[in-house]
Chain A
Amino acid sequence: MAEEHPVSQTPAAPPAAAPSGRPQGGRPPGPHRRGKRQFLRKKKVCRFCVEKVDLIDYKKADVLQSFIQERGKILPRRMTGTCARHQRWLTVAIKRAQNIALLPFSAEL
């Protein structure tokens, strides 16, 4: 049924499917515009910029904790949305915290 109208707009089907969440995988049916829109993600903003942080404290392990993976890896910028400058400071802070056993280098088994 859906293959019946390849060029013409699909007025009812895609909007109806959108709010309830599309089935995972595959491109959704409908005009090209809708397909493209799927790739728009909510823009992440740097948490440190929002809070106007000029110095990332390596002693605040609880804050730094949210920027490392479960296994102890530092999360990349693309995951957290941190700006380049703050990510630079953040890595230094995390590494300092690791050195004084506030954060793990890697998770213990």
Chain B
Amino acid sequence: MEERLYDLIFILRPDTPEAEIDKIIATLQHAVEEKHAKVEKVEKWGARRLAYRVKKLREGFYVYMVLRSSHGELLKELERRLRVSDAVIKYLTIRLDEEVKRKEKLGRRRERRAARRPKKAAPAAGAEQTAAANG
């Protein structure tokens, strides 16, 4: 199975001690590595205001991770862990590889077009250019 890219965001209670946050991240990382997947990025966004109340809280500590896995079961396992953790008030996993692929494709197409356009325009614009050069 090919590798897939996932975004994983979870929100912790704002009163969670720093050590606890690190512990949760560490256990997740451990679980990821156990399945021979990779953690590409871990970002602690810190306490942010929530757009709406979640579990009666208006603030939450955001943690953002990027994972690369070829094993879909892993995400199930991670979500289960986040669900049972008391400190976690919300989480979201998003599969992103298809969108990234599309982005790369569009980027490549744009580059190709940019490379082709001057050549195409050259015969027509050539006359002007020579005229401008002579003048």
- A104 close to B52 (CB less than 8 A): yes
- A101 close to B110 (CB less than 8 A): no
- A54 close to B106 (CB less than 8 A): yes
Q: Which residues of B contact A102 (CB under 8 A)?
A: 51
A103 at the interface (CB under 8 A from B): yes
Chain B 1-44, CB-CB to A under 8 Å as 1, else 0, gives 00000000101000000000000000000000000000000000
Kindly report which residue of chain B lies nearest to residue A72, judged by CB atoms.
Answer: B51
Q: A54-B106, A101-B50, A101-B90 are in contact. List 14 more A-B contacts (CB 8 A).
A: A54-B107, A55-B100, A55-B102, A59-B64, A96-B92, A98-B51, A100-B90, A100-B92, A101-B51, A101-B52, A102-B51, A103-B51, A108-B52, A108-B53
B73 at the interface (CB under 8 A from A): no
Q: Which residues of B contact A103 (CB under 8 A)?
A: 51
Number of A-B contacts (CB under 8 A): 36
- Interface size grouping (class) on chain A: 10 to 19
Per DSSP, are chain A's interface residues mostly helix, strand or loop, or mixed?
Answer: loop
Q: Looking at B51, B60, B99, B103, which has the most chain A CB atoms within 10 Å of its CB? A: B51
Kindly report which residue of chain A lies nearest to residue B89, judged by CB atoms.
Answer: A101
